[in-house]
Homo-oligomer: A and B are copies of this chain.
Amino acid sequence: MLAETLSAIRPADPQALADARAHHDRLTKPRGSLGALEEVAIRLAGAAGVSPPPMPEPAALAIFAADHGVHARGVSPWPQEVTVQMVANFLNGGAVANAFAAQAGASVTVVDVGVAADLPDAPGLVNRKIAYGTADLSQGPAMTVDQAVRGLEVGIQVAKDLVADGARCLITGDMGIANTTASAALVSAFTGRDPGEVTGRGTGIDDETYELKVGIVRQAMRTHALAGVASSPSESLRALAAVGGFEHAAIAGFILGGAALRVPVILDGVISGAAALVSAALDPAVTDHCVAGHRSAEPGHGAALEHLGLRPIMDLELRLGEGTGGLLAHPTVCAAVRVLHEVATFDSAGVTEKQV
């Protein structure tokens, strides 16, 4: 399924990009006056292969939940059972992601791809558990390459299913206590940045824990010989397996799945950014199908976005995950595309153009 998906991904269509750009310049507004939003609409036209691109609604949020062996090292002040508790909170509609999804009119699907406990069946929960959490990435590989591929394929399948159910925009989400540690390691591996530059305080840690966290990421980079690893698809899979989480694998697959179906993907924060680096290493064309919903307060996220060449839509120092930053951006992405559908041209509206 992975190979088939990768073979279906196309880069942005140059004609659709050019059409969208030309169309923008005929609309009743000064040229370029929508700033970065014009680029969002043009990007979605390129991704869809047609201008104007389809309206990116309704949106579907997938929250991929998993646990992390590295949690045992004390990198987070939150107990591991919070992953399970937050899954229940999502399913009961009580989390911030639910409130933001309601605002955006997005559906919420929770996917257990590696939570360290058995979860009772519930509407909205998809059981695709690969293992009861990853192994400790500082001691050995977090998962096997086979597990990493299975994680990717879970994400691809979820993307397919959501699109089959009518989604026209996919939003990435995550839940997993300690997953900013794995994210920092992935970002360091794929961008070549030093662990000290790309490791953040996650949901809130003190100086001592922060030093420990940076040290663990540094140790993982050495243990797995990951510096500059992302030079080939097979090395990328090895890096994902070495230090990633099951949710990183699944989100990377989810992005690939959206791109293969030409359905745009709005990326959330640092966990999604780390996963997007994996996707882009497997096929650089995938990034043409992504929009960066926001830039989080985590330093690794800025590094990931810079590496991917993506400009975030929102920049409000969120550091929550769950897909919250992606959901917030969704109405803006819709507004950007709506301009190409609905705004009158100078000719049609009888508006005089600027006198050059």
Contact = CB atoms under 8 A, between A and B. Distances in A.
Contacts of A99: 335, 338-339, 341-343
A88 interface: yes
Contacts of A339: 96, 99-100
Contact of A316 (B35, B95, B352): B35
Nearest to A354: B77
A22 interface: no
Which of A29, A36, A82 counts the most B-chain CB atoms under 10 A from its CB? A29
Interface string A49-70: 0000000000000000000000
A354 B78 contact: yes
A128 B115 CA distance: 62
Interface of A: 27-37, 77-79, 81-82, 85-86, 88-89, 92-96, 98-100, 102-104, 203-204, 297, 313-320, 324, 327-328, 331-332, 334-335, 338-339, 341-344, 348-352, 354-356
Which of A31, A35, A334 counts the most B-chain CB atoms under 10 A from its CB? A35
Q: 3 shortest A-B CB distances, which residue pairs?
A: A94-B344, A35-B317, A30-B203
Nearest to A86: B351
Nearest to A40: B316
B85 A355 contact: no
Given A81-B352, A99-B338, A328-B332, A344 B92 contact: yes
B27 A96 contact: yes
Nearest to A55: B103
A82 B352 contact: yes
A316 B313 contact: yes
Given A85-B352, A89-B349, 4 more contacts: A28-B89, A92-B344, A103-B334, A104-B331
A99 B331 CA distance: 12
Contacts of A102: 338, 342
A84 to B, nearest CB: 10
A263 B328 CA distance: 23
B349 A88 contact: yes
Contacts of A96: 27-29, 34, 339, 343
B89 A338 contact: no
A351 B316 contact: no
Contact of A348 (B36, B94, B104, B348): B94
B104 A320 contact: no
A225 B276 CA distance: 56
B100 A356 contact: no
